[in-house]
Amino acid sequence: MKKVNVALLQLCSGKNTKNNLAQIEQQIKQLPDSVKLVLTPENALLFSNSKDYHKHAEIQGDGPLQNAIAKMAQRYKVWILVGSMPLISRDSPDQITSSSLVFDDEGVIRARYDKIHMFDVSIDDEQGEYNESSIYQRGERLTVVDTPVGKLGLTICYDLRFPGIFQALREKGAEIISVPAAFTRLTGKAHWEPLLRARAIENQCIILAPAQVGTHDTRRTWGHTMAIDGWGKVLKKNPDAVSALTLSIGVESLHGMREQIRVVKHNRFRPKLTHLIKKVKDKEEL
């Protein structure tokens, strides 16, 4: 069974983009050469406020943050998933999106995903109110991209609470689904692992979930970066260290499982989710 080495970076990002990039590179350069794909958490390049997100938002394919990641991908010969960063909206130059980008090992952007579900909640923690829709335009496209590891479906953090998007990614061919996150400590302690394991089991996909950990101004994040197989088993976990979690994964293990328990075929409520897709072609769009 062919397996490929991947790395999930657990970060404590903040307002200083140079420090965030240095933290990412410090972890990447310590990885074994055998690692083919590196995943970073939500807000990996900037963890701040609305003003800063707008200030640092870049056009896709152009900007100092993207250039820095592209150079790392080239230098260390790895594919890199930026869990999220602010990008100029595809539809309006006056709006921004919270977006994942996938860079190949030559520094070329292979995929973009704009976060669909906005974290607009009130919870009993240090910050209390979260209102992402006041900062970002929500995305409307699903993304699955071919990588050296397998077909990777992209989500971001709060998407985790909505099983329909995971079902739709599975229908589009996803074998692995990334869930880069900055879960709050309160919600993370209660819900993070159960939701990740449920999404893996429901969709018979490998879940890769790199997370933010620690204190970021007034916000505290849960950490607990983890990888979960299609049976719901936690393959590896990093509770609270700012460090990389590395492991070998193989998508071939999913094939037998999917034949034994044919959840996609048996699902009487197969998600259409056409309202989330803006005339998306069968091939993945940038």
Catalytic residues: 42, 115, 157
Q: Report, in angstroms and rounded to the nearest whole number, the Rg of the chain calculated over CA atoms.
A: 17
DSSP label at residue 211? B
- State the burial class of residue 98 (Cβ atoms within 10 Å of its Cβ: 0-12, 13-18, 19+): buried
Separation CA 210–CA 98 (nearest Å): 16
Q: Which helix (H) or strand (E) holds 255?
A: helix 252-260
Given a contact cutoff of 8 angstroms between Cβ atoms, the answer to whether 63 and 40 are in contact is: no
Given a contact cutoff of 8 angstroms between Cβ atoms, the answer to whether 117 and 78 are in contact is: no
| Joined tokens for residue 27 | 């972890």
